[in-house]
C-alpha cells in the first residue's frame, strides 16, 4: 500500500513524456533511497525553472533570463554564426540534434515552435510564420535550410512557409514599384509607369518555347522536358545521380553522386547554349544533413565566381518520382538560367 505522498509523486512523474507508471515509481524510489542532496537540488532547480528560462525573443529557442535584458539564446548571441544562412527546425529538440552533429557550417538556427497539424488543432494562425518571414526579409538571408521532420506535418509546415515567404516577397516588390519618387524637379510633371497607357505584356505562351534535349543527360521519364528555352530564360528540370549511358544510379558515395548530378545539369546547360556561370537560382535536397559539407565542397567547384542564390532542404529525396526514406540520393534543380542575367533577388526563394 503506497502512501498518498508517493502516489502523488508517481502521478506527477507520469505526466512527463515517455514516462509510464512503473518508470515513475522507479524515479520516486530512487530519490527516496539515494542521497538526499539529489532530491533537494532537483527540487530547487525545478522551482526556478520558469523564472530563469524563457523562449528566446528572436528565435524561440531556450534562453536564460538575465536582469535588465531580454532573453536571448546562446545561438543568437554567437557572433561566429553566419547570419545569411538560416536553418528552420520544427521543434527545439530537433535543434539540439542538429547542433550535436556538427555538420552545419554554423548557421543561425530558428525553431518554428510548432508544426502544422489539423489533428492536434494547430492551424496556420497558430504558427509564428509572420515573424519568421519578416526576419527572413529584414536580415539579409540568402539561404534557407528547412529541416522540418520528414512527416506529413513537417512537409505541410515547409510548404506553408514557402508560400508565405513568396507571397510576402511579391507584395514587397509590388509596394516598391507603386511607391512614387521622393523628389522631382520643380514645375515638371510626375512620370509614373501607372500614368502611361497600359499595354499588356506578351505572354510566354505567345513566344516559341523550345524543348531542350540531349543524349548526354538522363532522358525524361515522364511528361516533362530536360529543359525549356522560353526566350530570355531557360528552365531546367531536376536531376538525380543517374548515369545517362547505363540508366542506373551511380555508386561510390555522396561526392560521386553529387558530381554525377552536376555533370547531368552541365550537359543540359551546354545543350541550351548556357553554362554554370549563367545560373541564377538552384535548389538542393539532401536526405542526410551530414552530407552537407561534402555536397557543398563539390558544388563550389562548379560555381567558382558569383555563385547563384540557393535553397537547401533536408529530409527530402526522390528517384524516378518515388520517395525513398533510406537511400541517400541527391536532387538538384536549376530553375532560372538566363542568357542575360537580370537583377537578382536579395531574398532567397524557398
In degrees, to the nearest 5, what angle opens at C-alpha 118 toward C-alphas 114 and 123?
55
Helix ranges (DSSP H) in 122-229: 129-138, 152-178
Note the pTM of the prediction, 2 decimals: 0.41
On whether the CB atoms of residues 186 and 154 are closer than 8 A, the answer is no
Centre a 10 Å sphere on the Cβ of residue 149 and count the other Cβ atoms it contains: 17
- Give the distance from CA 30 to its chain's centroid: 43
- Count of all residues that appear for the chain in the document: 350
On whether the CB atoms of residues 331 and 238 are closer than 8 A, the answer is yes
Q: How far apart are CA 29 and CA 26, in angstroms?
A: 5
Domains and CATH numbers, the chain: 79-169 (3.40.1360.10), 205-336 (3.30.1330.40)
Element at 319 (helix H, strand E): strand 318-319
- What would the DSSP string read from start to end of 21-77? HHHHHHHHHHHHHS-HHHHHHHHHHHHTHHHHEEE-TTT--EEE--TTS----HHHH
The closest alpha carbon to 312, from 90, 143, 149, 89, belongs to 143
Cell of 31: 530519490
pLDDT of residue 62: 85
pLDDT of residue 1: 65
pLDDT of residue 327: 39
Query: 10 vs 21, 28, 120, 144, CA distance in Å?
Result: 7, 7, 27, 44
The two counts, helices (H) then strands (E), for the chain are 10, 13
Element at 262 (helix H, strand E): helix 254-271
Cell of 267: 550537359
Give the mean pLDDT per block of 10 residues along the chain (350 residues).
Answer: 85 91 92 90 89 82 81 83 80 79 66 72 79 75 80 82 72 58 50 46 59 89 89 89 89 92 93 91 87 91 89 59 40 44 32
Amino acid at each position: 500500500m503506497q502512501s498518498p505522498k508517493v502516489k502523488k509523486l508517481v502521478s506527477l512523474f507520469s505526466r512527463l513524456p515517455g514516462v509510464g507508471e512503473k518508470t515513475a515509481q522507479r524515479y520516486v524510489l530512487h530519490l527516496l533511497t539515494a542521497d538526499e542532496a539529489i532530491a533537494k537540488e532537483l527540487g530547487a532547480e525545478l522551482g526556478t525553472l520558469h523564472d530563469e528560462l524563457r523562449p528566446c525573443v528572436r528565435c524561440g529557442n531556450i534562453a536564460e533570463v538575465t536582469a535588465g535584458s531580454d532573453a536571448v539564446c546562446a545561438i543568437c548571441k554567437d557572433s561566429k554564426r553566419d547570419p545569411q544562412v538560416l536553418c528552420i527546425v520544427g521543434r527545439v529538440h530537433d535543434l539540439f540534434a542538429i547542433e550535436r552533429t556538427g555538420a552545419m557550417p554554423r548557421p543561425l538556427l530558428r525553431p518554428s515552435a510548432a508544426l502544422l497539424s489539423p489533428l492536434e488543432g494547430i492551424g496556420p494562425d497558430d504558427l509564428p510564420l509572420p515573424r519568421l518571414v519578416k526576419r527572413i526579409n529584414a536580415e539579409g538571408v540568402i539561404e534557407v535550410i528547412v529541416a522540418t521532420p520528414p512527416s506529413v506535418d513537417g512537409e505541410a509546415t515547409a510548404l506553408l512557409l514557402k508560400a508565405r515567404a513568396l507571397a510576402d516577397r511579391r507584395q514587397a516588390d509590388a509596394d516598391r514599384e507603386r511607391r512614387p519618387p521622393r523628389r522631382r524637379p520643380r514645375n515638371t510633371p510626375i512620370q509614373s509607369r501607372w500614368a502611361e497607357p497600359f499595354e499588356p505584356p506578351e505572354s510566354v505562351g505567345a513566344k516559341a518555347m523550345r524543348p531542350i534535349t540531349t543524349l548526354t543527360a538522363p532522358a525524361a521519364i515522364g511528361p516533362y522536358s530536360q529543359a525549356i528555352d522560353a526566350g530570355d530564360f531557360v528552365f531546367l528540370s531536376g536531376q538525380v545521380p543517374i548515369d545517362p549511358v547505363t540508366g542506373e544510379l551511380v555508386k561510390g558515395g555522396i561526392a560521386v553522386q553529387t558530381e554525377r548530378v552536376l555533370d547531368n545539369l552541365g550537359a543540359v546547360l551546354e545543350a541550351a547554349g548556357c553554362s554554370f556561370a549563367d545560373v541564377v537560382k538552384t535548389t538542393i535536397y539532401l536526405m542526410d544533413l551530414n552530407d552537407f559539407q561534402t555536397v557543398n565542397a563539390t558544388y563550389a567547384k562548379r560555381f567558382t565566381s558569383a555563385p547563384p542564390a540557393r535553397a537547401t532542404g533536408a529530409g527530402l529525396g526522390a528517384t524516378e518520382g518515388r520517395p525513398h526514406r533510406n537511400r541517400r540520393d541527391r536532387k538538384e534543380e536549376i530553375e532560372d538560367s538566363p542568357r542575360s542575367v537580370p537583377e537578382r533577388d536579395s531574398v532567397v526563394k524557398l
